[in-house]
Structure 1
Amino acid sequence: MTAVEDRFHIQPDEFDEWTRILARTSEGPRVELIDGKIRSRAVPDGDHDLIIEWLTRICLQSRPELWLYPERGLKVQAYRTGRARPDGSLAPSGVFGGQGEWADPSEVLMVVEVTSYDSDTDQRDRVEKPRAYAETGIPVYLLVDRDSCEVTVYSEPDGTRYESARTVPFGKTVHLPEPVGIPLETEALKDWVR
């Protein structure tokens, strides 16, 4: 966490306006609002993109009525006071039609994060995001952890945290529980780590 992130808290409506201005003026950083703090995210590398492509194909083949929306802005945390851009949000096809940059997450079945090789990934993807997604009630959080070469499937949100977390090394099969209901063969992930 930088000194600016530590001192600067912002309200969701101010954050929304700030991100609209950034989007109009430049490609800008990828930013999120978690626990009232602005978090910037590293731009994904090519292997990160291949993981999302791989997962999109699996989801589409297994559940064609769903779509894995990349980097869809979601209102997260208690009372939707946070703003997150998961690497993927699995939801019914077309569900985000008519919604703005920050969508209602009530129809999201699973969010996906793929770790980046940056100094903030531990706090962001392993601590803050699981808590924010559980508070929001998103049924499944899939963490593809390229640092440890493991996949963790979080499920059973209780409004504060996920009660279940299952971790397997790349190469093992893990089942994405209901309401997703997809077995995930993770062997291919070994090709997309440093």
Structure 2
Amino acid sequence: MGREAPMLVEEFERIERAAPETVWLEFVHGRLVVKPGADGARGAILVHLVGEFLAERPEPALYPYRGLKVGAGREGRARPDGTLAPGGHFAGDGEWSEPDGVLMTVEITTGDPDTDRRDLPDKRDAYAAAGIPVHLLVDRDDHSVTVYSEPEGGMYRSRTTRPYGAVVEIPDPVGITLRTEKLKDYA
């Protein structure tokens, strides 16, 4: 039996447009992925992060679930839980935006360790390959926050992990101090 040809991004986008609004699809490293919806705790974490970022820097904005073209050749499509970019940055864009000008992506684990273990490293590497300067991972299973920065060669060279409750320094171009004590409430 022969190997099937990989799915093209145009095929993915056709499938994604036909999917019901309640289903979010992503296409990372040639794989079609169903992005789980935000449960109560995941949504609360995102709301908390929006408040933290607004308190530290009212500009830029943390956009929830913004579709991004990712990977070195922009052949992937991902929908991070949060995308930090200048206010109005995506105005006029369609469903999927170029990552140019994006300062940071945010992913919050789903609570399903199998899904997270399978999808999150691929997405992190796709963000790095796209040149997104910072990636923030809130790991609900591990009760930790990890900051990835310095993208080079499709990977982030720097990684810092702190437990919930710690003060986390997010490097430039984000340049804020993130307080994570409140995340313990959502563990």
TM category, shorter: over 0.9
Aligned length: 184
Q: Deviations over 1:51-104 (max 9, x none)?
A: 111111111122112110000000000110000000000000000011110001
* 1:3 aligned partner: none
* 2:151 aligned partner: 157
1:27–1:8: structure 2 CA closer, same or farther, 3 Å change rule? Answer: farther
Q: Is the 8 A contact 1:137 1:159 kept in 2?
A: no
* 1:39 aligned partner: 33
Q: Deviations over 1:141-176 (max 9, x none)?
A: 000000000100000001310000000111111101
Provide the secondary structure at the position in 2 that maps to 1:79: coil
Gaps of 5+ in 1: 1-6
Whole-Å Cα distance in 2 between the matches of residues 50 and 85 of structure 1? 18
Asked whether 1:11 is paired with 2:11, we answer no
Asked whether 1:175 is paired with 2:169, we answer yes
Asked whether 1:53 is paired with 2:47, we answer yes
Identity of aligned residues (%): 48
Match among 78, 83, 101 for residue 95 of structure 2: 101
Kindly provide the amino acid, as one letter, of the partner of residue 122 in structure 1. R
Q: Is the 8 A contact 1:136 1:159 kept in 2?
A: no
Whole-Å Cα distance in 1 between the matches of residues 158 and 74 of structure 2? 23
Kindly provide the amino acid, as one letter, of the partner of residue 186 in structure 1. T
Kindly provide the amino acid, as one letter, of the partner of residue 153 in structure 1. V
Whole-Å Cα distance in 1 between the matches of residues 6 and 54 of structure 2? 39
The TM-score normalised by the length of structure 2 is: 0.94
The TM-score normalised by the length of structure 1 is: 0.91
Whole-Å Cα distance in 1 between the matches of residues 165 and 128 of structure 2? 27
Match among 106, 109, 119 for residue 124 of structure 1: 119
Kindly provide the amino acid, as one letter, of the partner of residue 174 in structure 2. V
Gaps of 5+ in 2: none
Asked whether 1:115 is paired with 2:112, we answer no
* 2:178 aligned partner: 184
Match among 17, 20, 37 for residue 17 of structure 2: 20
Kindly provide the amino acid, as one letter, of the partner of residue 136 in structure 1. A
Whole-Å Cα distance in 1 between the matches of residues 101 and 186 of structure 2? 30
Provide the secondary structure at the position in 1 that maps to 2:97: coil
